[in-house]
Chains A and B, each alone.
Chain A
Amino acid sequence: MERINLKKEKISKYLEDSGISHITAVPDQQKLDRYKNLEYYKDILYQCGKCGTCRTAYHEEGWPHVCPSGEFGKFEAYYLGGKNLLSWALTTGRLKWTENMAKIFYQCSVCMACMQQCQIPEIHHYAGEWLMAMREEAVQKGFGPMPEQQKYTDHVTKEYNPYMEKHKDRTNWITSNIKENPDAKLAYFVGCTTSYREQNVAIATAEILNSLEVEFRVLRDERCCGSPVYMTGQTDKAKEIAETNINTFKNEGIERIITSCAGCYRTLKEIYPKKFGFEHGIEVLHLPEFLLEKLNNDELTFNNKVNMKITYHDPCHIGRHMGIYEPPREVLTKIPGIELIEMARNRHNAWCCGSGGGVRSAFKDLSIFAANERIEEAKETTASAIVSCCPFCLNQFKTNIDNNEIQAFDLSELVRKAI
């Protein structure tokens, strides 16, 4: 007779079976397409019973809270259940669009931790789609985006970045020791945050590519991928941006793109073809995927020890949005000297850093609340650094860490140290 190990009482089997994905085994489950409009999804909205399961990661020991929007906003409206039923009220004419209604739908980073928890199959799989569809509708009705988001969108239109910076300065981070091949078919798509705010990440990535003798180039007319515009419901504008970018890639003969930004990665790889219908045929890789491929082929070896206890933060855009959880961890744990300690909320239950979905520009209090919660969680692990592979997350942590209580790094920075 086996003695129960109380620690093992957590749901290890459940996680081994990919947790909630057992739902996909349900016979005759209603299968829907993704990236459709509200009209397409509206019939399933009222399945939500506002039961509150979306608020906590009940797969894990401790049943921790997962929704920054709800935990900050407190009222039911700010949780997925509330948003589901407000969507239902709007689509059935029970309520009308108002400024306040739009604010509720925008006060959310669309991190999608909520839908990971819900066991209603259609909500589990498609809630993120109609949260975005509601933003699209808010824009169509003239209630979205939020003023701060409109301001950066205007700048994206003029200067191709949301940071109020000049386009001509975008590649200022490139130093003479970075070797590019102007004829390379591989582009390093740097992204706006990395280009203007986290240039260390760009430099580290370029140096890694150089050390691997990978021929690449940075496009001198690289522009915003459109993610901050798309995520605020401005689909038509984002689509125009995508079209321009794809034309640039084609004209430059690009066949493969590496990006160090989680948001750019998701936008180029998923949103362009699946939402906008632009089948560009270009292979898009996120840096950790690329590095893992090199490690597995013995084309990359780590020569230096990086003695550091770290914890890894899953960026929403590659984690829940794209299902990439393990490659960054595999790369990090192959670095000699690195000790990786997980935060209680990790992988599909990771707490969002609070910067995405237009939240950091429009809802600063929520954004800071979310960041601080994650920083505290990272500190609880006793790690000396929180590592991510999204410059937006990185910048959010750096901005909100007080007194250097913990450091924040991008994965590329540690890899560069190890090579």
Chain B
Amino acid sequence: MNNSKVVSELEQIVGDRYVSDEPEIQFLYHYDFITAEPEGKCDIAIMPESAEEVQEIVKIANKYKIPVVPWVSGINFGSIATPRKGGIVVDLRRMNRVLEVNEDDMYAVVEGGITWADLKGYLDKHHPNFRAGITYSPPGTGVIPSCLCYGMFDLGMIGGTGAEFINGLEVVLPTGELIRTGSCSLSKYWFGRQPLPDISGLFIGWEGTTGIVTKAAIKLWPKLPYRTDFLPIASRMEDGAPMMIKLSKAGLGIVDLCMINMGWTQSLQCFDQKSVAIDPVALGIPDFVAVITTQAYTEEQHKAQCEAIKSICKEHNIEPLTADVQVRNFPKNMWGLIHHIFPSTGGQLPIHFWTCWDFSRGGGGEWIGCYVSIRNVVKYYNLAREVCLKYDKTPQFYSRIMFGGHYCVARINVNFNKNDPEDIKKTRQILKEIHDAVQQLDGVIMYKPPKWVVQYYKDKTLPATTKLVESVKKFLDPNNIMNPGQGIGED
């Protein structure tokens, strides 16, 4: 590929300031810098400012048959924004505006490169009675990629996955045409994907291999005036999970329902690697911590909801302490971030990577995160835990029950030192072993999967399903330029 010729054409689109093939700029797109997945290669980085510019970039990529990789923050647990086959990385972060907020239909129309920080900042300032979800990823990560890849927020119980927060999309197809999906395709309102054929699905869960989303409408939610966060603790996951399942079916204004093990809790307490217990269970430390968040419009309603939640907890012999009380039971040097993550205790922070694992000793982390049938979540944890302990790694488990209790997410983090090749090798082995182990359970499907997992699913799916998926991909992207080497796309 003749970079300079392509660069010169790209400069005509966005100006020379926003195109680069300099090694210092390229380098930061080669890697994910977090996961244990292998590095890729960025030939040219470009930062467009509009859908029209994205269209022009894609047309040039087609002309030269150069790969195009849509990119916002470039960090995710399958390294799916890492350019596997070189080419042009389209960094969308100049497209970070909120274009419209419709308070009646409760959505925000945003550009493709907007980050969680951008969106929250805008809403806090201009629409303070409404909120988007707060993701566990850092504030600098992209809203739209997160939604397209089934990320989740602290509104999972009422809203489901990020994909279910999407009302409609504007997409530059791999051939350069611009399309819209959902109600916005035939009206000025972006209220939903119903009742049309839901072609948003051509772009959700495809790992950026079917187009570049330049706009989306994301559902917003009202901030209700009454809120309580409970933080009950129990000995084992087996003790707490039935309580959570019952709560998930009880309504009660519950917007978020999470269970985490002590491995992850220690991270939230900001322990570092020297201080954490590798296997808290062996030390008799409780291994189940739940987050139950309920909201209401009136005080009476809220009181009744809280009483019912407490009653369900007590049925399971678990003390229904609220987050502020529970945290104060810990010694102060063990509070860490826990007492900063709930609005009802004074904060609302994203839970940064450092609190997911120990960055202070090498900064690597990858997880096997899956959507799971709720009935398998405890089994998932125990299988994954066993693999981690075999390799002397602290199991860090997290599960969120979603969408009124219709399914759940389960994931297990593996920490490693990015400066230690042996640790990276070991981590890759652990991830594969966890993946293989949890696949023994039916109904366990990984999200944001790296290529090696995608191949596993392709082999497992009905051949006709795989064929259909591949045909759709080929139809949309005849030159196979869109994020090749990732997702369902050919290598």
Contacts and interface: CB of A to CB of B under 8 A. Distances in A.
6 contacts: A11-B340, A11-B346, A26-B271, A28-B272, A47-B418, A119-B352
A130 to B, nearest CB: 15
A12 interface: yes
Given A1-B302, A25-B333, A48 B33 contact: yes
Interface string A99-128: 011001000000000000001111000000
Contacts of B352: 51, 53, 119
B75 A51 contact: yes
Contact of B139 (A14, A63, A100, A121): A63
B22 A52 contact: no
Interface stretch (A82-90, A175-183, A259-267, A283-291): A82-90
B129 A6 contact: yes
Contact of A12 (B20, B31, B346, B360): B346
Nearest to B273: A28
B24 A104 contact: yes
B343 A100 contact: no
B130 to A, nearest CB: 11
B226 interface: yes
A122 B358 CA distance: 12
Nearest to B141: A52
Interface string A48-62: 111111111011011
B344 A75 contact: no
B139 to A, nearest CB: 5
B125 A120 contact: no
Nearest to B116: A63
B461 interface: no
B140 A1 contact: no
Interface residues of A, number: 56
Given A23-B270, A28-B275, A119-B355, A62 B18 contact: no
A53 B271 CA distance: 19
Contacts of B333: 25, 27
A164 interface: no
A65 B117 contact: yes
| Most chain B CB within a 10 A radius of its CB, from A14, A59, A95 | A14
A48 B140 CA distance: 14
A52 B24 contact: no
Given A22-B335, A46-B419, A75-B91, A9 B343 contact: yes
A220 interface: no
B363 interface: yes
A8 B355 CA distance: 24
Interface string A16-30: 000000110111111
Nearest to A56: B117
A62 B299 contact: no
B347 interface: yes
Contact of B121 (A12, A64, A89): A64
Interface in B76-94: 91, 93-94
| Most chain B CB within a 10 A radius of its CB, from A30, A50, A74 | A50
A94 B418 CA distance: 15
Contact of B336 (A11, A22, A75): A22
A37 interface: no
A58 B117 contact: yes
B138 A51 contact: yes
A221 interface: no
A64 B123 CA distance: 12
Given A58-B139, A62-B120, A74-B93, A120 B27 contact: no
B199 interface: no
Contacts of A3: 225-226, 299
B124 A63 contact: yes
B345 A13 contact: yes
A89 B272 contact: no
A77 to B, nearest CB: 6
Q: What class of interface size applies to chain B in its complex with A? A: 35 or more
A351 B93 CA distance: 20
Please give me the 8 A-B residue pairs with the lowest Cβ-Cβ distance, nearest first.
Answer: A52-B140, A13-B346, A47-B363, A56-B117, A49-B34, A63-B117, A51-B138, A28-B274
Given A28-B275, A98-B24, 9 more contacts: A11-B347, A22-B337, A27-B271, A46-B362, A49-B365, A58-B349, A77-B25, A89-B27, A100-B24
B20 A53 contact: no
A75 B306 CA distance: 47
B221 interface: no
Contacts, number: 184
A28 B360 CA distance: 11
Nearest to A105: B24
A122 B362 CA distance: 11
Given A13-B346, A63-B117, A120 B354 contact: yes
Contacts of A75: 20, 25, 28, 45, 47, 91
A76 interface: yes
A85 B33 contact: yes
Contacts of A100: 22, 24
B223 interface: yes
B346 A74 contact: no
A43 interface: yes
Contacts of A122: 360
A49 B360 contact: no
Nearest to B298: A3
Contact of B24 (A23, A46, A48, A77): A77
Given A1-B302, A46-B419, A95-B23, A27 B275 contact: yes
Nearest to A97: B24
Nearest to B353: A51
A46 B347 contact: no
Contacts of B274: 27-28
Contacts of A30: 360
Contact of B73 (A8, A29, A43, A52): A52
A128 to B, nearest CB: 18
B227 interface: yes
| Most chain A CB within a 10 A radius of its CB, from B120, B140, B337 | B140
Nearest to A102: B24
A1 B299 contact: yes
Interface string B108-142: 00000001110011001100110000000111110
Interface in A170-188: none
B263 interface: no
Given A52-B140, A119-B355, A74 B47 contact: yes
Contacts of A65: 117
A20 to B, nearest CB: 10
Nearest to B275: A27
| Most chain A CB within a 10 A radius of its CB, from B270, B275, B336, B359 | B359
Contacts of A46: 362-363, 418-419
Nearest to A16: B346
B74 interface: yes
Interface in B5-31: 17-18, 20, 22-25, 27-29, 31
B336 to A, nearest CB: 7
Contacts of A13: 339-340, 345-347
A120 B359 contact: yes
Contacts of B349: 11, 14, 58-59
Nearest to A6: B223
Contacts of B138: 51-53
Nearest to B128: A6
A120 B363 contact: yes
B303 interface: yes
B314 to A, nearest CB: 19
Contacts of B336: 22
A127 B418 CA distance: 19
Nearest to B324: A13
A4 B223 CA distance: 10
A94 B27 CA distance: 9
A9 B116 CA distance: 17
